[in-house]
Amino acid sequence: MTAAPPRPATPSQPVPLPLTAAVHRPHSRVLPLGLAVGTVAALGVLLLRPPAPVVALAVALVLGAVLELTRRLRGQLAAAEELEAQRLELVSRGRSTADELEVATRMMRARAQTMTSVIDAVTEQSIIGTDPDGLIRVWNPGAERMLGLPRADVVRTRSITDFHAPEELSPEGAPGTPAERFAALVQGAREHGSDVRDWTYLTADGRRLTVSVAITPRTDDDGEQAGWNFVGTDMTEARAAERLKDQFVSLISHELRTPLSSILGYLELVMDDEEQPLTDEQRQYLSTVERNAQRLLRLVGDLLFTAQVDAGRFTLQPEDVDLAGIVRAAEETARVTAAARGVTVSVEAPDTGPVVRGDALRLGQACDNLVSNAVKFTPGGGRVTLRLRRAWRHEDGAVGERQVPGARPVALLSVSDTGVGIPSGEQGQLFTSFFRASTARRNAVPGVGLGLTITKAITTAHGGSLDVTSVEGRGTTFTLTLPLDGVPAA
């Protein structure tokens, strides 16, 4: 019995879609609908009891649709699970971010509270913070105490310039606008990054205070300038004490100089009197008197010179000065004292030059001070060396032997010794009036602590610099650097 041939499809019997069509279009949005229609059609064909080949095709179509739908459902389920995992991860990240933000907020609040506590704990200095235009935003208890106004009366209502003497912010006499006065106040800090100087503060009760104010810019977290900080220390009493000290030194120096000159004059008359010659013992006694009177006269001269420097009345008598002559004169002056102490003094300098434009008397005084100190601080058997040479100061301030573009010629005068040295922690105070290093006090080296102060002032007045390098127990080197610009070649 042979199978009946398949009957052709009629319009009432939809033709099933080929399985390959469903398989090769997996990404079409129409595919699920096509599979459903094909499946229904195949089921309809089966209900009509078609021939075996048609039945097989319909069954294959139904199975393919079921498999495809199963695959798609599994894919959608996996995608749903992945989306759920992503949602959970986002929720976790959101919670973590919220926790981090909360921690950062607490840290910022704690930092702000700490800064506020520190600022409020400062009562001896005024701390005033302003916005970029000078409007006060910070006013600590030290400012309240110094200027006599509570914080509530000042913050966001007053400008920092309200508490400064008007003449200091308007040097030309014109009052100027608030912006111009504030610009004058912060000009130094704007140009150099910070500024420390004395200003006159005006208090609520009309008093005028001399205040040392440190002005610095204030930046925000992004590095942008957010305003200015003004930290002030009341120096009124200290400056008054300094003026009284200077007046006292000047007065005493003048009062001592006249009788000392008279004493020395009469000593010279007595010691040189040929009609009434002195015995050797008398001459020895009077020589001791003369030596101490000369020492006291030099001290008076140093005190007067220091007072002139502090008062800004220090002047120079400029001329062409041969530094080689200055160095050799200083060695000659110290030769007797050095020989008595067993100290060798040597000079390393050219026969003439270099030549600088300066005050020969003051430069000689500076060199004498350095050599005298070196001899005093060097024990017997030690050595003091004076060196003089030319060099070049580079644009970055360094000094070298080679000439480079932009370098300026300088003279280097150094005095080195093999003495007791200076502790590193004390070297920054060497040029302070009346300061004496611990090694000087420990070794009972005579002096009052004015020589280096005077030498520094003389060097600065000549446009030079004075530097020191020292190792305790090994020795010290002072280097005096003087500019040679515009000086005729030696």
Q: pLDDT digit of tens for each residue in the chain (490 aa)? A: 334 444 444 444 444 434 333 344 444 455 566 656 666 666 666 566 666 676 677 667 767 777 877 888 888 888 888 888 888 888 888 888 888 888 878 887 777 777 777 777 778 899 999 999 999 999 999 999 999 999 999 999 999 999 999 989 986 666 778 898 999 999 999 999 999 999 999 999 999 999 999 999 988 878 888 999 999 999 999 888 878 877 777 777 778 888 888 888 988 888 888 888 888 888 888 888 888 888 888 888 887 887 777 777 778 888 999 999 999 999 998 998 899 999 999 999 998 879 999 999 899 999 999 999 999 999 999 999 999 999 998 888 788 888 888 888 999 999 999 999 999 888 888 888 888 888 888 877 877 788 898 899 999 989 999 999 999 999 999 999 999 874 433 3
Instruction: Determine contact, residues 198/210, Cβ cutoff 8 Å.
Output: yes
Give the total residue count for the chain.
490
Q: What is the pLDDT of residue 441?
A: 82
Interhelix angle for 360-376 vs 451-461, to 10°? 150
**In the chain, what are the helix, strand and coil shares in percent, each to the nearest 5?**
50, 20, 30
**CB-based contacts of 356: which residues, under 8 Å, 6+ apart?**
320, 321, 323, 363, 411, 462, 482, 483, 484, 487
Instruction: Determine contact, residues 348/390, Cβ cutoff 8 Å.
Output: no
Q: What is the pLDDT of residue 198?
A: 94
| Element at 467 (helix H, strand E) | strand 465-471
> Within 13 Å and on the Cβ side, how many CA atoms surround 64?
23
Q: What is the pLDDT of residue 443?
A: 78
Q: What is the pLDDT of residue 23?
A: 41
Beta strand pairing call for 225-234 and 208-219: antiparallel
Q: What is the pLDDT of residue 40?
A: 66
Name the DSSP letter for residue 159. B
CA-CA distance, 112 to 37, in Å (whole number)?
71
